[in-house]
Amino acid sequence: MTLSDTDIEKTTESRVQTPRLDRQLCFALYSASGLMTKLYRPLLAPLGLTYPQYLTMLALWERAPRTVGELGDTLGLDPATLTPLLKRMEAGGLISRRRDPADERRVLVQPTAEGEALRAAAGGIQEALGCQLPLEPVELAKLRDTLNGLVGQLRALETEATAVEQGNER
């Protein structure tokens, strides 16, 4: 372990420090996430689902109906992202969308019978992927928990930042 074993590379020509791509946590996350999505794609296509749509169904299978905003909080997505996504899923017959009679601002989302029927197939996908993934289940769980911890901290940072924006820093 040398002193120069950092994520910064010192170039001789300018003494400018350039961050190295393969030392960036953000790039590791970016790559891993993209590859995982690619791995799911061929398994989800037969079900008529994209990867974000699959995550949405997972959320709805756990609890429904939910409003667009609640779904966005769970998935970490903007309402502006979800609206067209949910419309496509509605057009595909997997979910229903209706205004909440008790509060006409909200839109309630829930799986249709057809959407509910996909539940069984989802279990098969997890099984198929577990076989492909070249990772011990224990290691996998550890990595997942570490990431979820990071996600929690990043979300805390996020809400803190918006609070400061609104002058609520006390």
Query: Is 3 an interacting residue with respect to its own copies (CB under 8 A)?
Result: no
Q: Does 73 bind its own copies (CB under 8 A)?
A: no
Residue 79's CB is within 10 A of a number of other CB atoms, namely 14
- In whole angstroms, the minimum distance from the beta carbon of 92 to its own copies comes to 19
Q: Which does 32 bind (CB under 5 to 8 A by kind): its own copies, DNA, none?
A: its own copies
Shorter beta-carbon distance to its own copies: residue 102 or 161: 161
Q: CA torsion, points 123, 129, 131, 134, in degrees to nearest 10?
A: -150
- One-letter amino acid at 107 equals V
Q: Give the contacts of 24 (CB within 8 A, at least 6 positions apart).
A: 7
Per CB under 8 A, which region of 84-92, 101-109, 156-164 contacts its own copies?
A: 156-164
Choosing among its own copies, DNA, none, which partner's interface includes residue 10 (Cβ < 5 to 8 Å by kind)? none
Residue 108 Cβ vs its own copies, minimum distance, rounded to whole Å: 19
For binding to DNA (CB under 7 A), which residues are involved?
34, 38, 41, 50-53, 67-69, 72, 76-86, 88, 97, 102-107
Q: Which residues between 87 and 126 bind its own copies (CB under 8 A)? A: 119-120, 122-123, 125-126
Query: Of 99 and 150, which has the nearer Cβ to its own copies?
Result: 150
Least spacing, CB of residue 54 vs its own copies, in Å: 9
As a whole number of angstroms, the distance between CA 13 and CA 113 comes to 65
Residue that has been written with the tokens 């070249």 in this structure: 134
Q: Which is nearer to its own copies, 72 or 92 (CB)?
A: 72
Q: 124-148: string of b/e by CB count within 10 Å (b at 16+)?
A: ebeeeeeeeeeeeeeeeeeeeeeee
| Structure tokens given for 19 | 């961050």
Residue 69 dihedral angles phi and psi, to the nearest 5°? -65, -45
From the list DNA, its own copies, none, pick the one residue 48 interacts with, judged by a Cβ distance below 5 to 8 Å according to partner type: none
